[in-house]
A and B are shown apart, each in its own frame.
Chain A
Amino acid sequence: MSLLEIRSVSKFFGGFAAVNNVSLKINRGDIRFIIGPNGAGKSTLFKIIIGVHNINSGSVLFNEQKIEKLSLSERINLGIGVKFQSPSVFNKLTVKENFRLAIKPKYNLEISHFLETFGLENDQDKLAGDLSHGKKQWLDIALCSISKPALVLLDEPTAGLSFEETKTTGELIQELNQQGMTFVIVEHDMEILKQIAKSVSVLHLGKLFFEGSPKEVLNNKQVTNIYLGID
């Protein structure tokens, strides 16, 4: 049974098809990377899944329930965590207050474990805006995963990170994946894809171009060509 299913989804901006009849199935426990060159439709698809963009046709199912008519907050409360492209932590609140916002009362979670996991234990009283870029990214991932959602959607979680920070981010995602969270990651960075991806979907010109294991994708000449812009 798929945790997330996208059925023949299309999204048009005027006459331009940003996402054209795309279907995807994400199974529980997967770490699915969605890659593609600029303009492939990755971010639009991401926004369709979380409900920022409405769709023109098709449907989106989470746990076999249609969610395309639900608002962003309603989707989140079904068990989806979201991290946007740039670190969108609350800069004027402390790290602890950021966590307070992310914890749903019903989970009654202890945040100290999470602070430790993400290397933020000494920063909890700091303003989030004073953290380094890498720590902001980790705090952002921590915020969307602290309530242990079934599905976590990450848009470019390693953007602007050093090689070491990217590696650590990969390890953090793997640890959360082992705790039972499924990941869908929109990413450009091939290093983290090689490090943690379990499956990859390649988008090109708004359509699903290729799907397979990381090895299959990386060895596919057509994928390499469209990714590098070679016809």
Chain B
Amino acid sequence: MVKANNILTILVFVVLLIIPILFDTFYVNNFSYFILWTFISLGLALIWGMGGILSFGQTAFFGLAGYSFAVISINFADVFAVGIWAPILALCITAIFGGLVGYFLFYGEIYDVFIGIVTLAITLVLETFMAQTAGPEWAIGSARLNGFNGMQGMPPIGITIGPLEFYLQDIGQYYFMVFLAMFSLWVLYKIKKSNFGLILIASKEDRIRAESLGHNVKRIQVITFSLSALFAGISGILYTNWGGYITPSSMGLVASAMPVIWVAASGKDDFFSVFFGCILLSYVSQTLAINGAQYAIILMGFILVIVTRYFPEGIILMSKKFFTNEPLSKKRP
């Protein structure tokens, strides 16, 4: 029998798949923008929802991936298939950086609220550093970093083979993101069901006990942190490709708080809820931002307060459980 959960997932993806048929390119590109944020949120759900480690540093990985992609693709714009290997290389750099940060955090025995503080500091340091790179001396090869104005003019993701061109833009970009989101959800569910996922969930409840059963919890946390950085990096690269620019403000204080709000409000313990909730909330946020960015920020803060008080499991997850008759738990986000 097909479970109610699966029906809901299929339904949402069917709707996403027919959007380009129903709407014009302008709206499809807007939907692409909402979907690209789901990857950073899914990465946070992995490290926070499953691993119990709240990271404010996801935007640092987002920015690092975006900047790496821009620098590599600008410098090697004439090299064959740069639009394919540049994003992959940028993702590798981001995952390695995430792994290094994770290594120093977990092997340095930094836990709980201090992880939030350290990761927030990393993202703010990166933002401050990138914002002061306006001068001509701040260039990597032929790629100017451009300070607060950010980088632009990078070639898009894709490839030219003879007369044929395959580039991620408009509807092609949209479908790529939807299929990548499907694949990411599948991978994350597989991780959750694996022994690796079980140890991660157990370590969230009692790290020392999980170690006392012979598991190398620190190594598992480092790998997970690196994976969550990779997911944030996917968002960073897709964002850079979508808009054709990347700026330091993408690593700012407000930007780093947004994924935390989306994930907490949606339900950090369930990947699908995070995916769906992130699309809804970034849609609401974007719609309000048209009338003034401050409204969106105020609303997001308000949502976080309401969720913490009345929907501790997240609005989307609790609604999903209500419709599928699953019992609610009394955990706080």
Contacts and interface: CB of A to CB of B under 8 A. Distances in A.
A113 B208 CA distance: 27
Interface residues on B, range: 10 to 19
A90 B211 contact: no
9 contacts: A52-B208, A73-B214, A73-B215, A76-B211, A82-B212, A84-B209, A90-B209, A93-B198, A97-B198
A101 B210 contact: yes
B202 interface: yes
Contact of A91 (B198, B205, B208): B205
Contacts of B215: 73, 101
Interface string A84-123: 1000111111000100111011000000000000000000
Nearest to A105: B195
Contacts of B206: 88, 90
B216 interface: yes
Q: Which 10 A-B pairs have the closest CB atoms?
A: A76-B214, A88-B209, A82-B212, A72-B211, A73-B211, A77-B214, A90-B202, A102-B213, A73-B216, A90-B205
Contacts of B211: 71-73, 76
A101 B212 contact: no
B199 A101 contact: yes
A175 to B, nearest CB: 21
Nearest to B217: A73
A84 B206 CA distance: 12
A72 B198 contact: no
A193 interface: no
Nearest to A149: B214
B304 interface: no
A102 B217 CA distance: 13
A76 B205 contact: no
B72 interface: no
Given A88-B206, A100-B195, A93 B213 contact: no
Contacts of B205: 90-93
Given A88-B209, A91-B205, A101-B202, 19 more contacts: A50-B212, A71-B216, A73-B215, A73-B216, A73-B217, A76-B212, A76-B213, A77-B214, A84-B209, A84-B212, A88-B206, A88-B208, A90-B206, A90-B210, A92-B201, A93-B205, A100-B198, A104-B214, A144-B213
